[in-house]
Structure 1
Amino acid sequence: MTLPPTTLPPTILPQTILTDATDQLAALRAGTITPRQLMADTLDRIAATNPAVNAIVALRDRETLLAEAERAPAGPLQGLPMAVKDLADTAGIVTTYGSPAFRDHLPAADSPMVARLRRAGAVIIGKTNTPEFGLGSHSFNPVYGVTRNPYDPTRSAGGSSGGAGAALACRMVALADGSDMMGSLRNPAGWNNVFGFRPSYGLVAGGGPGDLFVPQLSTEGPMARSIRDLELLLAVQSEHDPRHPHSSGPYRPKAPGGPLRIGWLGDWGGAYAMEPGVLDLYEAALGTFTALGHSVTAIAPPFSAAALWEAWTTLRSWTIAGNLGPLLRQSPDMVKPDLRWEIERGLATTASDLRRASAIRSDWFRCTAGMAVDVLALPSAQLFAFDADWHWPHQIAGTAMDSYHRWMEVVVPASLTGLPALSVPAGFGVSGTPMGLQLIGHRGQDATVLNLGRDYEAATDWIAQTPAL
């Protein structure tokens, strides 16, 4: 296994930038660094590093940010610089959703999640790059271009939270929000050697009108370089929202319990094509859990992968058509082929299609609830970071991918039923780019999954393997 360079030059980076958000906030509270200095160090780091990866976009004026840092409101994130994913509305800051149709869009109000960040004292410095409307797990768009992998800038940083993952890996920010419909937190976390957590559906309340029952496919969540930072941001993101009936927050940590039963699913009995070398990484990662006292058992596929894919693609296309169908009618030239395909597929969905998809989802939910394991383990992606100039990989290990997102099928089991899923660093491939491992828990058992991740984090040092940028 080939590892990347392991040290970011200490002469270039102030110690504060090297630490996680918890330590940065502690330094601010202790007065060993001022909010203005932390902001200045952050902006200097972005200036030095961002041109190579293109993770931060719509960066705001330096003097404005320095002044805002000094008057940040009191709260758990007071004075911490953060860049928000460019799918979340930010009042007064350009929010493009990666689409040329919204190139100059200035929202009048923050999204509910962004409003929580601001109330907690975070200083919003700009946005993190994302694919157009978050579609696809490779962060490129016609507005800002491609986000590149910090460990190999010729490769993808993943997506749709690719900008967030790359910014964290490069120490441009210490905390990042993300969103996850089809692995959009988990894939870039794995490919950027950081942690990404998709919470149980409803823990982080969404916003806006619309159907609250059928979709339930996407959620916002935290990304960070430590589990304690994930919990720090999750506590803010999951503030209870009485306007959202599914809101189950706030997140509450709990003391670790006894050993957990982990079911390893690998390539789902051969259903998921895997690039050579991907599965080889997990022997050591799973051995770490065994050494920590947890039991790890390779289990047979508990459900039909084909049925899961059928349900997923039906519900996904139907949801996307409902959200973005008007854009296709109003600005057809502004719609990329993948989005057009999703919308047209969704518009063709029948009532019987939806009923069958919902029945499959329900059967899978019942299946997971009755499984004799506490956590399912799967790779966070089916191949290592691919060429940044590709739109998406058309084959894996000789198996053709029949859609722009088929190569991310491995994330569907958690997404389809809103299960909590944590991506933890699992090592590096022979090319030197990272890969992650998904730990998937039962609905509502978010703290159990994060406690398991904390055990793993303490027993490994992957986060210390930093990119040479």
Structure 2
Amino acid sequence: MELFENDALSLSSKINRGKLSAVELMDATLDRIDAVNDTVNAIVYLEDRDKLLAQAKAADASKQTGWLRGVPIAVKDLANVEGMPTTMGSPLFVDTIAPRDDLLVERMKAAGAIIIGKTNTPEFGLGSHTTNSVFGPTRNPYDQSKSAGGSSGGAATALAARMLSVADGSDMMGSLRNPAGWNNVYGMRPTWGAVPSEPTGDVFMHQLATSGPMARSPADLAALIDTMTSPDPRQPNSHFPGVATPMLALPVEKQRIAWLGDWGGAYPYEDGIAELSEAALKQMEDMGHHVEAVKAPFDAESLWESWITLRSFAVAGGAHPLYADPAKRAQLKATAQWEIERGISMTAMDLLTASMTRSDWFRRTLELFDNYDVLVLPSAQCWPFDVNLEYPTEIAGVTMDTYHRWMQVVVPASLIGLPVVNIPAGFGANGLPGGLQLIGPRSRGGRLLQLAHEWHTATDWPNKRPPDL
């Protein structure tokens, strides 16, 4: 297990210095997957062992010194890896083999990564609980009767279970943040447009989802976000937020942190969520930062209505061709059908109203960031729930009126594409992990990573309390 306490930067450094071979690392990684993956079901496709060992041998013989040289990575099963299946957790795509790599995968391979397989995700990434009819649920490594979160639950669990040292994820509505919190690892939702998506279809309208890194250390987050970012001229909204990795070596300025609590009572929390968050913030105060409880800065229901309008519009835009075919529609999960139906019923004025609310909220955050450097909310409003439950229908006695209302706490950042670094915050009395969202101004993700790195140095929750598998 000692090898798997290393982060990806440490592993690649050992390989580049001749202290570890890529073949040794691959052998150990595949043995670890064999030992624990059946327990948690995080990796749902794995390449042939001999093929992967041959790629590792080639990495050892290569003169490349990329930071991911010889490091095994499994890619979230929403992205394409040439020659591997891309099921997206849907029975409609179980036989789909990707003809080429997505841009994100190209960039990781160029940095030296060896792609070993795919990590689990809910159908089309919809819902923050990683389960689907193709592969079943990914189980929380801290309690296999509980959810791993989602939609990047497979990636987060593979990290926590020491099957991977670093991973990719994606985030529309907390899909990097919720599973990171529930698996005691780090996840970063970058500023929207910093990580280019695939340059296909519409490239102007749907500014909600983004890919991002997940890891057991902020240093790996920074290294992987630097690999993922750089403008793509085929996408008009892509931009370069700056290089993050060198910032981690700089002194951390004392941060003005705004604790948004339960948003003036708008967000119900299960017992222990607020207490865990506030204990972590007290520790940040002890580190020299200024923490202030701030009243709700915007009407929560207006944000919610704007979000679910724009989200359904985006989901329908991507999935409507499947819905339009009655035979394929019958194979879509009910929540996907509901989301698509909402999206195709939207009027132009519905969308304009939602976008105006989004614009008002963006302007309001400019005022907030004049006075604070970081806004903080919990990763999720509840603890990991029963793995056999589709989604929580109530929190603290409050009924959840949609399949995703229980994740409302992630909406303020998602709606306007702000960068968020999710940090492990410790464990509740139930023994389950939770996290905090560190939210910053656009293109200031590097400063969030600085704060996360300082936090990691002080706490090191992923190594301090790994799962017992």
So what's the TM-score if we normalise by structure 1?
Answer: 0.95
Counterpart Cα distance in 2 of 1:171 and 1:333: 38
> Is 1:263 matched with 2:258?
yes
Listed as ranges, the matches of 1:66-465 within 5 Å are: 66-72=53-59, 74=64, 75-249=66-240, 251-253=242-244, 254=247, 255-256=250-251, 258-330=253-325, 331-371=328-368, 372-463=371-462, 464-465=464-465
Counterpart of 1:32 (choices 15, 19, 22) is 19
Output the amino acid matched with 1:220: S
SS of aligned partner of 1:145: coil
Aligned equivalent of 1:468: 468
Aligned equivalent of 1:43: 30
SS of aligned partner of 1:342: helix
CA spacing shift, 1:239–1:102, aligned 2, 3 Å: same
Instruction: Say if 1:203 and 1:251, in contact at 8 Å, map to a contact too.
Output: no
Shift of 1:250: 6.4
Output the amino acid matched with 1:373: Y
SS of aligned partner of 1:308: helix
Instruction: Say if 2:191 and 2:445, in contact at 8 Å, map to a contact too.
Output: yes
SS of aligned partner of 2:365: helix
Counterpart Cα distance in 2 of 1:208 and 1:390: 36
Aligned equivalent of 1:10: none
SS of aligned partner of 2:468: coil
Shift of 1:249: 2.6
Instruction: Say if 2:262 and 2:269, in contact at 8 Å, map to a contact too.
Output: yes
Instruction: Say if 2:204 and 2:236, in contact at 8 Å, map to a contact too.
Output: no
After TM superposition, the structure 1 stretch with the greater mean CA deviation from structure 2, 63-72 or 240-249, is: 240-249
Cα deviation 1:244-301 (Å, max 9, x = unaligned): 2222236412334521111001111110011011111122200121112111000000
So what's the TM-score if we normalise by structure 2?
Answer: 0.95
Output the amino acid matched with 1:112: L
Shift of 1:112: 0.7
Output the amino acid matched with 2:9: T
Shift of 1:386: 0.1
Instruction: Say if 1:240 and 1:250, in contact at 8 Å, map to a contact too.
Output: no
Shift of 1:352: 0.4
CA spacing shift, 1:76–1:182, aligned 2, 3 Å: same
Aligned residues: 456
Shift of 1:76: 2.2
Instruction: Say if 2:9 and 2:68, in contact at 8 Å, map to a contact too.
Output: no
Counterpart Cα distance in 2 of 1:211 and 1:362: 21
CA spacing shift, 1:202–1:411, aligned 2, 3 Å: same
Output the amino acid matched with 1:239: S
CA spacing shift, 1:85–1:151, aligned 2, 3 Å: same
Identity of aligned residues (%): 53
SS of aligned partner of 2:438: strand
Counterpart Cα distance in 2 of 1:104 and 1:76: 33
Output the amino acid matched with 1:39: M
CA spacing shift, 1:240–1:213, aligned 2, 3 Å: closer
SS of aligned partner of 1:424: strand
SS of aligned partner of 1:166: helix
Counterpart Cα distance in 2 of 1:206 and 1:256: 33
Output the amino acid matched with 1:337: A
SS of aligned partner of 2:145: strand
After TM superposition, the structure 1 stretch with the greater mean CA deviation from structure 2, 295-304 or 208-217, is: 208-217
Counterpart Cα distance in 2 of 1:435 and 1:171: 18
Counterpart Cα distance in 1 of 2:446 and 2:96: 37
Instruction: Say if 1:98 and 1:142, in contact at 8 Å, map to a contact too.
Output: yes
Shift of 1:209: 2.4
SS of aligned partner of 1:391: coil
Counterpart Cα distance in 2 of 1:54 and 1:250: 35
SS of aligned partner of 2:46: coil
SS of aligned partner of 1:58: strand
Q: Which structure exhibits the higher relative contact order, with contacts defined as CA atoms closer than 8 Å and separated by 6 or more residues?
A: 1
Aligned equivalent of 1:52: 39
Counterpart Cα distance in 2 of 1:233 and 1:252: 11
Cα deviation 1:437-462 (Å, max 9, x = unaligned): 00000001111111111111111132
After TM superposition, the structure 1 stretch with the greater mean CA deviation from structure 2, 451-460 or 162-171, is: 451-460
Output the amino acid matched with 1:264: W
Shift of 1:19: 1.0
Counterpart Cα distance in 2 of 1:242 and 1:24: 33
Counterpart Cα distance in 1 of 2:419 and 2:335: 27
Shift of 1:420: 0.4
Counterpart Cα distance in 2 of 1:299 and 1:448: 21
Counterpart Cα distance in 2 of 1:401 and 1:250: 36
Instruction: Say if 2:316 and 2:344, in contact at 8 Å, map to a contact too.
Output: yes
